[in-house]
Amino acid sequence: MKERLQQIREEAMKQIQESDGLNKLNEVRVNVLGKKGELTTIMKSMKDLSAEERPKFGQMVNETRQAIETLIEETKTKLEAAELELALEKEVIDVTLPSKKQKVGHVHPNQLAQKEVEDIFIGMGYEVEEGPEIEYDYYNFEALNIPPNHPAKDEQDTFYITPDIVLRTQTSSVQIHAMEKGKLPLRMIAPGRVFRSDEVDATHSPSFHQIEGLVVDKGITFADLKGTLEVFAKKMFGEDTKVKFRPHHFPFTEPSAEMDMSCFKCGGKGCRFCKGSGWIEILGCGMVHPDVLKRCNIDTNEYSGFAFGVGLERIALLKYEIDDMRLLYENDDRFLDQF
């Protein structure tokens, strides 16, 4: 039995030393020290020994057990350290590797143009207003002198939500909201999205943006309108820009006009940009119709005003020399990266 014990001891020590991982080591431990392990089995057979031999042998078994346990513990510590080392090596971060480049966004040309227009008018003492995109017929049409059967309602191919509620077709609706607040004098611009049931092409889209302008004060004349819009055109497109006003018709202004500016590309000689005419149509404007003022409880004996409306996309296309409006909506990185 002594020999068997010695054999178990040697065999166990060898296997422990050869263990190449914690799992293997545990296997050895169970095989030798476990409930059904070799050492346990040999302990059980001690009952066959004489009373004299039993304690001695017991002591030997205990020593063996202790020696094996000690070696297992030592080996376990070593293996754990090695495993940790390996894990750390695997997880090492190379701080000298080049980082992944973060893509920086760009300001959309529409926003660029809007900001420029806003800055110009803020510089002249205007405030920036907002109005709802979903609008009552009253604000989008009726209060602006466009009654139910007015042909302008057809021209503006409206998206209806209910017979009385529309997606606004023009930012002119904000004029009414501003005047209804009852604070005069009024100097405001209102940039915003408008909607018309147009097919998409190089110059049309069912949703685009306008910037509305409105001034109401005592003694406002057409000369104020001309002077203001001339300053705007020069600041936006260069000091050499000339403007001219053509008579036009809008239901909510009287008189009404369209403003053209000399082509910033050819200086008025005629080119591809201005289709050879030397002039570019830029905005609609006029003196606020007295009926519109009266509807907003403004005393027309004392007050008068002018208004204008300009297409934001039109400004952006001209300013940044983009020849297809669809580019402004597709948000292709390769296009936007240029701004």
- How far apart, in Å, are the Cα atoms of 258 and each of 22, 255, 286, 307, 334? 87, 11, 8, 12, 35
Which of 170, 228, 262, 304 touches ligand DAH by CB under 6 A?
Answer: 170
Question: Rounded to 5 degrees, what are φ and ψ at 250?
Answer: -130, 140
251 touches ligand DAH by CB under 6 A? no
172 touches ligand DAH by CB under 6 A? yes
Stretch that binds ligand DAH, among 93-101, 199-207, 282-290, 320-328 (CB under 6 A): 282-290
Which of 250, 264, 279, 303 touches ligand DAH by CB under 6 A?
Answer: 250
Residue nearer to ligand DAH on the CB measure, 250 or 264: 250
Residue nearer to ligand DAH on the CB measure, 76 or 248: 248
Q: Report the site for ligand DAH in 23-52 (rule: CB under 6 A).
A: none
Residue nearer to ligand DAH on the CB measure, 195 or 264: 195
Cα–Cα distance for residue pair 213/237, rounded to 1 Å: 18
Query: Which amino acid does the sequence have at 226?
Result: K
236 touches ligand DAH by CB under 6 A? no
205 touches ligand DAH by CB under 6 A? no
253 touches ligand DAH by CB under 6 A? yes
Rounded to the nearest 10°, the torsion over CA 149, 154, 156, 160 is 80
CB of 240 to ligand DAH, least distance (A): 26
Which of 212, 264, 278, 317 touches ligand DAH by CB under 6 A?
Answer: 212
Residue bearing tokens 């054999």? 7
CB of 237 to ligand DAH, least distance (A): 19
Cα–Cα distance for residue pair 277/172, rounded to 1 Å: 29
Q: Report the site for ligand DAH in 283-312 (rule: CB under 6 A).
A: 284-286, 307-309
- With b for 16 or more beta-carbon neighbours within 10 A and e for fewer, the 306-326 pattern comes to bbbbbbbbbbbbbbeebeebe
CB of 188 to ligand DAH, least distance (A): 11
228 touches ligand DAH by CB under 6 A? no
Stretch that binds ligand DAH, among 6-14, 42-50, 125-133, 280-288 (CB under 6 A): 280-288
CB of 178 to ligand DAH, least distance (A): 12
145 touches ligand DAH by CB under 6 A? no
Secondary structure class of 85 (helix, strand, coil): helix
Rg (CA), the chain: 44
Cα–Cα distance for residue pair 289/224, rounded to 1 Å: 16
Structure tokens at 248: 């036009």
| First-to-last C-alpha distance (Å) of the chain | 91
Question: Rounded to 5 degrees, what are φ and ψ at 153?
Answer: -65, -30
Residue nearer to ligand DAH on the CB measure, 222 or 335: 222
208 touches ligand DAH by CB under 6 A? no
Cα 287 to chain centroid, rounded: 39
Stretch that binds ligand DAH, among 77-85, 157-165, 281-289, 324-332 (CB under 6 A): 281-289
Cα–Cα distance for residue pair 140/96, rounded to 1 Å: 61
Count of residues of this chain found to bind ligand DAH when the rule CB under 6 A is applied: 11
Residue nearer to ligand DAH on the CB measure, 172 or 228: 172
Cα–Cα distance for residue pair 335/328, rounded to 1 Å: 9
Residue nearer to ligand DAH on the CB measure, 68 or 315: 315
Structure tokens at 35: 């409930």
Q: Tell me if 302 sits within 8 A of 219, measured CB to CB.
A: no
Site residues, ligand DAH (CB under 6 A): 170, 172, 212, 250, 253, 284-286, 307-309
